[in-house]
Amino acid sequence: MSGPAAPLRLGAVIITMGNRPAELQDLLDSVAKQQGPAIEVAVVGNGSPLPPLPPGLRTAELPENLGIPGGRNVGIELFGPAGRDVDVLLFLDDDGLLPSDDTGELVRAAFAADPRLGIVSFRIADPETGVTQRRHVPRLRAADPMRDSRVTTFLGGACAVRSEVVGQVGALPAEFFYAHEETDLAWRALDAGWMIDYRSDLVLHHPATSPARHAVYHRLVARNRVWLARRNLPWLLVPVYLGVWFALTVLRRPSRQALRAWLGGFREGWTTSCGERRPMKWRTVWRLTRLGRPPII
């Protein structure tokens, strides 16, 4: 009779631009204090030198900023091809922090209990107020952030991904640089039969911010939305999906400057290469619909 299964090996991927050394150290301390087997850590300096770090970490310093997905992909490879040195990869923002010391054990239990679980999205909470912003709940019905559910996407800086998923469907789309790279990976994972969960008990503390603080936010959001559709949706759904998002953007009445940048990105998404096209199966479209988010919105 075989004995109990060995605990799943966890590896944390953290990218940094070197401008938040104190917050990075706090995050590393919170990872180190997790119960159970030690979580291995890979830190990537994304176009910047790394600050002084504790010994024993896997590190890389990139000569240029490869963007969020590109930097995380380098971190994955620090754990071997497709991250195969570990069973589960944690992606954590460098200004976040794990407030509980049982998060690692909860992640191990979640993946061990469900062999088809591919990705888990954490709940992001402001450390001062405890509030979870609506945009940080990865579903349409986001009013109650304490409700767990199966979802169709995840939060890139507060999540856990089974390394087998990366090995099967590929890593994050580096060409996106910023925005929608998580949904691209999520759709490919769902198309391959994996499931994605949102778990309110897996918490990352992170200061409340607006994504629009990034100067290129509106352009990249629009460009990558078009790329996302062109790469992953059956052609019949591409104009529907993008038409809905075009209308929603106009109805939200962005500033003239933001709308100009958004329209430029939308045009760029059509006129530039989106990378390899791998349209999802129609049964995946139906699966997304049953999960509450048909791929037209």
Write the pLDDT tens digit of every residue in 17-28: 999 999 999 999
pLDDT tens profile 62-71 = 999 999 999 9
Q: Which of 213, 216, 196, 204 is nearest to 265 (CA)?
A: 216
Spatial CB neighbours of 143, under 8 Å, sequence gap ≥ 6: 134
**CA-CA distance, 116 to 121, in Å (whole number)?**
15
pLDDT tens profile 140-169 = 999 999 999 999 999 999 999 999 999 999
DSSP string, 72-133: HHHHHHTTSGGGTTSSEEEEE-TT-B--STTHHHHHHHHHHH-TTEEEEEEEEE-TTT-PPP
The one-character DSSP state at 213 is: G
Class of domain 10-209: alpha beta
Q: Sketch the domain layout of the chain as residue ranges.
A: 10-209, 215-290
Banded pLDDT at 216 (limits 50, 70, 90): confident
pTM score above 0.85: yes
Residue with tokens 């304490």: 146
